[in-house]
Every structure is written in structure tokens, then in C-alpha cells.
Amino acid sequence: MDKLLGAILGIAALAGIFGAVYLAGGSGPAGPVIAGIRGEFLLFALTLVGVALFHHYTLQVALLGLGSILLFKLAFVPSFHLVEHLHHEWNILLNLLGLLLGFALLARHFEESRIPEILPRFLPDDWKGGFALLGVIFVLSSFLDNIAAAMIGGTIALVVFKGRVHIGYLAAIVAASNAGGAGSVLGDTTTTMMWIDGVAVIDVIHAYVAAVPCLFLFGILAALQQHRFQPIQKDEVGHHQVDWVKILVVALILAGAIATNVLLDFPALGVWVAILIGSLLSKTAWGEIPAALKGSLFLICLVLCASMMPVDQLPVPSWQSAFALGFISAVFDNIPLTKLALDQGGYDWGVLAYTVGFGGSMVWFGSSAGVALSNIFPQAKSVGAWLRHGWSVVAAYVLSFFIMLALWGWQPHEPHKENRLISTGQVQH
């Protein structure tokens, strides 16, 4: 709590500096500027630092950051109008909230289908079993949330490795869940945001040009590492039957998301219609909603913070800036970074999906999957140990990025929001 109080005092002190600069005349029409940097960016950066440092108070820090940025805009930026801003952002915020909560229920339906209990039967007995498990996590995260895929993989690892899971392999589990979702609009919050915002599915999928070789690069090394530490032992895994009704509900939810996004530009609606229909066919774990709501509100706060940034002053999109964003997302939450990129436009979305989606794997708190998995494996909560034993994840990120650059190149897309406005006849003059 003392650290959280320190964060509060830090943001308050920064706000006081802005006020002093403003009163002293060091402000333009866009508000106070310190060392050439606009105040919104400084408050936003401080918020992300707070999120990175205070893992147990992420929602409180995000709310504090949102409040400080909002007060700054209202006090110092005359051109900012809150009602107009919310009118512009409500669609992505409501969709994101609906999808995050809906996918939490989807993940529980998949877990209760008993497929996760059956999967260990098919794993090889040597180091290839560890690699095969990472491949399963990679595939699961292409249609499940990456948190769910990592948690399922971690639970299976606990069983087949008799509770002795190497930190390097834990890093690989997180990396596999993030890599698998990189090219799928259903597999990661960042790509789901792109999809909601109007980026076409086909413009994201080539992230797998990097993600697939990346899996082999870190996966084989991590599997060998785990095999030396604790070989796979799956003899005691029980026999279960698949609950096909649960699988049907999962398929309905995925189909609903795709159908309503194509037809209505509102995928969350299809997800919840399918969930309600599914509740008539099979018991739904409504108790998942309160737990998922806290994390969802945290992400909504960060997205709203990012939406208030002056994106016209960001660096020009390039493969170099996309590559750097991967390292930045290892320490700062990738959700607001993605939002900034979407507002700015002009990126190669598949390249960006890989960098911001996979980059968070390089540090245990760099992605939600890593934070969730570390609650099962507390030994993972060490940046030094994660980097020392999970170095293959960092190496794979770099090598796979340049593999993608060599095979695919940097092919920036036209600003998708402008294209959507033109197609619907909503261009303003």
C-alpha cells in the first residue's frame, strides 16, 4: 500500500508541475509541455510505470492515471470535449468489455469440456512431449484467450512434470500462448482490438510468418531444458470423455463473434447471444464474471487513457518502431500501445500484432498470461530468473522478427478508419 501511495503522490506532484508551468506561461494551446514532451504523454508513461511496478493494484493505478489524464485534458486543452470523445470511442470500449467477459466464459466452457484432461494422453514420452505441449498451447491460443491457453498449459505441465516445472519452460508456456494468438483476431486482446477497430482478419494473419518459426526456436530449447530438469511422466493421467455439448457452445460463441462483426460491426453482441443460447444447452459458470470484470475494467481504463493521447506527435510507423514496441511491451502493457498504434494508423498490422503480442513474453509481468501463470508458479516472479532461464524467448523474438521481415517485408496498410468511413459514406469535410 505504501508503494501505491507513492504512485499517487508521484502523479499528484507531476500534475502540480504542469500547473506551475501553465501559470508561468510555459504552455501552448495543447497544454503544458515539459522538455518538449506534452503532459498527456508524461502522465500516461507514469501510469504505465505504476502498472508495471504495482501488480497488486493495477486497477487502482489505471483509474488514477485515467482520472489524472482526464483532468489534465479538461483543465489545459480547450479543444478537448469529453462527450464528443466518448461518442467516438464507445463502440470499441463496449465491444472490448463484452468480448473480454464473453471469452472468459468461453475459456471455462472449453476447460469443462474435459479436453485439457485428455490432451496429455497424446504427448510423447521424451523431450518432444514438452515441445508438443507448447504446440498444443500455441494452437489453443489461436481461438482461446491467451490467458486461458497459458493456464490450461500450466495445469497440464503441473501434472505431467510432477509439479517440477523449470522457469525457462514457464517462460516458454507464456511465449507459446502469446505467439499462438498473434495472428488470430480471437486469440489475443491486442488482435481483437485491431479487429474491433476495423482491421481486416487477413491483414493480421501473416503474424504467423514470425510466430511459427518463433515457436520452434524457443520451444525446442525450452523442451530440452525441461527434460533435463524433470522428464515428462504422464502414466497417472486419468481417462475422461469429451463433453461435446461444451464444444458446441464454444463453437457457437466463436461463430457468433465472427458473424456479428461481419454483419453488424459489433462482435460482442454475437458472443453474448451465443452465450445465452449455450446456457440453455449446458450449465454456464456465471461466477467467472466478477473475477473477469476487474481485469476487463483495468484494460478498458488503459485503452481510454491511450485514446486521449495526441497521436499526431508519435514517431512515423516503420518496421524499426514496430520492432522497438516489442521490447517496450515487455515492461509496459501492450493494450494501450496497441490503441496508440490503431489511432495513429499506417502500420503493417501483422508485423505489429507479432511484436506487441509476443514481446510481452520476454518478462513475466509483460503480458496478462505471464501474470496469471505466475500465480500458479510463484517462483516465476523474478525478472532476473525469467531472463536468465528464458533467454531463448528473447532470442526467438529477434530472430523471428527478421525472418518475417525477410520473407514478408514491411507492408504498411492504409489507415483503416479512413477506409471504413469512405465505404460507409461518413467522411467529414
pLDDT attached to residue 61: 86
The β-bridge partners of 31 are 28
pLDDT attached to residue 389: 94
pLDDT attached to residue 318: 93
pLDDT attached to residue 276: 96
Residue 248: which residues within 8 A CB-CB, separation 6 or more?
278, 281
> What does 146-172 look like in DSSP terms, one character per residue?
HHHHHHHHHHHHHHHTTT---HHHHHH
Number of H helices, E strands in the chain: 20, 3
CA distance 166 to 170: 6
The β-bridge partners of 34 are 37
Helix axis angle for 319-328 and 334-344, nearest 10°, is 160
What are the cell numbers at 253?
Answer: 460463441
Per the CB < 8 A criterion, the answer to whether 150 and 137 are in contact is: yes
CA distance 364 to 178: 12
Range list of β-strands (E), 252-345: none
CA distance 336 to 61: 14
Q: Which of 335, 305, 297, 349 has its CA nearest to residue 94?
A: 297
Q: Provide the CB-side half-sphere exposure for 407 (13 A, CA).
A: 16
pLDDT attached to residue 429: 35
Residue 278: which residues within 8 A CB-CB, separation 6 or more?
109, 248, 249, 252, 253, 284
What are the cell numbers at 98?
Answer: 463484452
pLDDT attached to residue 5: 56
CA distance 279 to 15: 48
Residue 309: which residues within 8 A CB-CB, separation 6 or more?
40, 41, 44, 340, 343
Per the CB < 8 A criterion, the answer to whether 103 and 272 are in contact is: no
**Tens of each residue's pLDDT in the chain, 429 residues:** 555 555 555 555 555 545 544 544 455 555 667 777 788 888 888 887 887 777 678 888 889 889 888 988 888 888 888 999 888 888 888 888 888 888 788 878 888 888 877 877 788 888 999 999 999 999 988 887 787 788 888 888 887 888 899 999 999 999 999 999 999 988 888 888 898 888 988 999 999 999 999 999 999 999 999 999 999 876 555 567 889 999 999 899 988 888 887 788 788 899 999 999 999 999 999 998 988 888 888 878 888 888 888 766 667 899 999 999 899 888 777 777 888 888 888 999 999 999 999 998 998 877 778 877 876 787 887 878 899 999 999 999 999 999 999 999 999 987 655 555 444 444 443
Which long-range contacts (C-beta less than 8 Å, at least 24 apart) are formed by 86-93?
89/304, 89/307, 91/196, 91/265, 91/266, 92/193, 92/196, 92/197, 92/303, 93/300, 93/303, 93/304
Per the CB < 8 A criterion, the answer to whether 146 and 367 are in contact is: yes
What are the cell numbers at 297?
Answer: 475494467
pLDDT attached to residue 25: 46
pLDDT attached to residue 204: 94
pLDDT attached to residue 14: 53
Per the CB < 8 A criterion, the answer to whether 346 and 335 are in contact is: no
Cα radius of gyration rounded to whole Å, the chain = 22
pLDDT attached to residue 21: 47
Per the CB < 8 A criterion, the answer to whether 65 and 233 are in contact is: no
Residue 234: which residues within 8 A CB-CB, separation 6 or more?
120, 121, 123, 125, 129, 159, 160
Q: What is the pLDDT of residues 162-174, one digit of tens each?
A: 889 999 999 999 9
Q: Provide the CB-side half-sphere exposure for 365 (13 A, CA).
A: 18
| Cα angle: 211, vertex 322, 69; to 5 degrees | 120
CA distance 21 to 134: 53
